Amino acid sequence: MIAKWLNRIKWDEHGLVPVIAQEVGSKDVLMFAWMNREALARTAEIGQAVYWSRSRKKLWHKGEESGHFQKVYEIRLDCDEDVVLLKVEQAGGVACHTGRHTCFFNQLGSADGQPDWVEVDPVLKNPDDIYNK
Amino acid sequence: MIAKWLNRIKWDEHGLVPVIAQEVGSKDVLMFAWMNREALARTAEIGQAVYWSRSRKKLWHKGEESGHFQKVYEIRLDCDEDVVLLKVEQAGGVACHTGRHTCFFNQLGSADGQPDWVEVDPVLKNPDDIYNK
């Protein structure tokens, strides 16, 4: 099948596109990851987020180990056609491998009078309970 | 000055970090861009988004031509310390160079019975009026 919509995307030199996952409802930005052509095609096909793991160099069906699947409600593409935005429902309410709701839990604030990153969001689930089931 | 908080960031092989800009209030994801160390330091210093333009290979103070500055309310860093999330107020309500509120105006839908990208968000301001002032 000719996937015209996949051809519209300007894949980078590694054949990847950056992907932002945003939660429907709360509109929280949950995480950021990458997809290759196969990952995006699969995401559209099954309606769940499938990323490309750059470290493991393989498709990563988010939730396959943790159960924290992302049901995809919308797939958007930006003006330059090189960034994807997913609107998802986050199973378990936990997107981050640290057990937090989102991956963006470090906020620039100050510590000891110097600017520094401060963890501002709570751990909702023990990571040991996420992965060692 | 030793900028410990900047050293925490895992800059990529080009010395850059991906940045997501999210609007405070609406929580809309406005755009995606890149920053180098100088851009992020400057952003924190002046409280307005300063990106690194990969095409022009220079600092890009968002709004310098369009007037569509982004006032920064929060700077966040993800769990892997390699992605930044800005929470911003968008001057003029227009983040995209096409004159739309956000850059993510293409939604995967269907056209002529085939999956395709559909422009779903309105142009709020004529791009000619943004840049040819």
ipTM score for this prediction: 0.96
Average pLDDT, whole number, for chain B? Answer: 95
Flag whether the pTM goes above 0.80: yes
Please state, in angstroms and rounded to a whole number, the distance separating the CA atoms of residues B72 and B29: 14
Per-residue pLDDT of chain A (133 residues; tens, 9 = 90+): 568 999 999 999 999 999 999 999 999 999 999 999 999 999 999 999 999 999 999 999 999 999 999 999 999 999 999 999 999 999 999 999 999 999 999 999 988 889 999 999 999 999 988 876 5
**pLDDT the model gives residue A9:** 98
Within an 8 Å CB–CB cutoff, is residue B116 touching chain A? yes
**pLDDT the model gives residue B2:** 66
The owner of tokens 């968000």 is B121
Beta carbons of A79 and B100 less than 8 Å apart: yes
Runs of H (alpha helix) within B58-126:
none
**pLDDT the model gives residue B77:** 98
Which tokens belong to A121? 């969001």
Beta carbons of A27 and B28 less than 8 Å apart: yes
Question: Of A74, A80, A117, which has the smallest distance from its Cβ to B5's Cβ?
Answer: A117
In the three-class reduction of DSSP (H, G, I as helix; E, B as strand; rest coil), residue A7 is classed as: helix
Beta strands in chain B (DSSP E): 16-23, 29-36, 50-53, 58-61, 70-77, 84-90, 106-111, 114-119
Query: What's the length of chain B?
Result: 133
Within an 8 Å CB–CB cutoff, is residue A91 touching chain B? no
Residues of chain B with pLDDT under 50: none
